Amino acid sequence: MSATPETGLRAENITVTFGRGDRAFTAVDDATVVVAPGEIVGLVGESGSGKSTVSRVICGLQREYSGRVSFAGGELSPKRTAAQWRVVQMVFQDPFASLDPRYTVRATLAEVIRHHRLATGRALRARCEELMEMVRLPVEFLDRTPTAMSGGQRQRVAIARALAVEPKVIVADEAVSALDVSVQAEIVALFARLREELGLSILFISHDLAVVRSLCERVYVIHNGVIVEENTTAEIFSAPQDEYTRTLLAAIPRFDSAFLDSASPGRVPAGSSAVSEGAAPPRRGDGESPRRENAVSAEDAGPETYRLRPRPTKGGPE
C-alpha cells in the first residue's frame, strides 16, 4: 500500500483556548483547513468566529494551540525556523500593520530580503524591482514611503513584502476589506494573477461573501470556532447545507436571487465588487488616495486585466 504524498498546506484539528480555568475560552475548536497547491480557498464566518485565530496559527503568529500545521508533509512547528517561517506569509487588512511608515518601500523590501539572506547588492536591487513588477507598481515607488500612497498602493506593497521571502502560501486576512470597491477588485485580481503566475496557495479570509465567491474555488464556513461546512464555492452558494451558512448568506443583502442567478464561481456579474471576466480594466486609485497630488497613479504601471478562470477539478493536472 503506497501512501499518497501530502501536498499543500494542512492545518489539522486545530484547537486554540485563551485564558485558563473558569475563564478558559475555546476560540477555535478542532478546525481543519486544507489548501492545495495553487488553490484559493475562502474562510468565512461572522466577527469573532475564529477566522483570524486560525490564520494566526497557520502563519506561526499564534503559537499556543493543539493540532498540526504542515506544508507538503513537513510540519510547520509552533516555534518556526526561519525557513519554515518563509513558507506562509500573511497579508492583513491594515498594511500599516506590516509596513513601517518611516521606511521607503525599498528599505522595507530590502530588510526582509537581507534578513533571510536571499540576495545582496545588485541582485537585491533587481529583486526589489521584480517585486514591484509582480504587484504592478511603478519602480519609482521603491523610493516612496507608505504615507505617500493610497490604500490600494499600500496593500500592493504589503503583498510585495510577503512575496519577498518566496512563500508557498499567502494568508490574506480581510486584506481587501478596508478598500474602496473598485480597489478591492484590483487587489482581488492581483491575488488571482499571483496564484496563476507563482502557483501560490491562498487562504482568503473575508466577511464579504461576494468577493469570496468571485475568487475562491472552495470555502470553509466557521461558526463559534467550529468549521460547520466545507465545500466548493458553487455548492456553498447554491446549496448551503448548514443552517448557519444559510443564515450567513441570507444576511447579505447583495445575495438577492438576481445576484445568485447571474454569478458563478470565478466569474463575477457585471457591477459587482470583484473582477468581471471580459470587463473593462478597472481604474486604479479612484477616490482612495488621501494625497492624490503626491501619489503617482499606479496606472503608470499599466492597467491590470485578469481573467479569473475556474481551476481544474481535483485530480486534474496541476
**Residues in touch with ligand ATP (CB under 6 A):** 18, 27, 45, 47-53, 207
Q: CA 39 to CA 167: how far, in whole Å?
A: 14
Residue with Cβ nearer ligand ATP (207 or 307): 207
- Is residue 28 within 8 A of residue 65, CB to CB? The reply is yes
* Degrees to nearest 5, angle at CA 245 with 49 and 191: 70
Nearer to ligand ATP, 184 or 276 (CB): 184
- End-to-end CA separation in angstroms for the chain: 24
> Nine-digit cell at 25?
475560552
**Do residues 187 and 207 touch, judged by C-beta distance below 8 A?**
no
* Nearest residue (CB) to ligand ATP, 57 versus 301: 57
CB of 43 to ligand ATP, least distance (A): 9
Give the type of residue at 20: R
Query: How, if at all, do strands 169-173 and 88-91 pair?
Result: parallel
CB 187 within 8 A of CB 175: yes
Count CB neighbours of 245 within 10 A: 22
Burial of residue 43 (CB within 10 Å: 0-12, 13-18, 19+) is buried
Tell me how many residues contact Mg ion (CB under 5 A): 2
Closer to Mg ion by Cβ: residue 49 or 153: 49
Residue 132: CB minimum distance to Mg ion, A: 29
- Position of cell 448557519? 244
Residues in the chain: 318
CA distance 297 to 301: 8
The nearer residue to Mg ion, 52 or 214, going by C-beta atoms, is 52
Minimum CB–partner distance for residue 46 and Mg ion (Å): 10
In the complex, the smallest distance separating the C-beta of residue 50 from ligand ATP, rounded to whole angstroms, is 4
Report yes or no: 289 and 195 within 8 Å, Cβ to Cβ. Answer: no
Q: Which three cell numbers stand for residue 131?
A: 517585486
Least gap, CB of 175 to ligand ATP (angstroms): 12
Furthest-apart CA atoms within the chain: distance in Å: 66
Q: Which is nearer to ligand ATP, 157 or 222 (CB)?
A: 222
Q: Shortest Cβ distance from residue 7 to ligand ATP (Å)?
A: 27
Contacted entry of Mg ion, ligand ATP, none for residue 96, CB cut-off 5 to 8 Å set by kind:
none
49 binds, among ligand ATP, Mg ion, none (CB under 5 to 8 A by kind): ligand ATP
Residue 48 binding partner per list Mg ion, ligand ATP, none, with a CB distance cut-off of 5 to 8 Å that depends on partner kind: ligand ATP
Give the β-pairing of 25-35 and 9-18: antiparallel
CB of residue 54 to ligand ATP, shortest distance in Å: 7
Partner touching 152 among ligand ATP, Mg ion, none, CB below 5 to 8 Å by kind: none
Look at residue 156 and give the partner it binds from Mg ion, ligand ATP, none, a contact being a CB closer than 5 to 8 Å depending on partner kind: none
CB nearer to ligand ATP: give 45 or 95: 45
Contact code string over 35-74 relative to Mg ion, x by CB under 5 A: ----------------xx----------------------
Nearer to ligand ATP, 53 or 98 (CB): 53
Binding site for Mg ion (CB under 5 A): 51-52
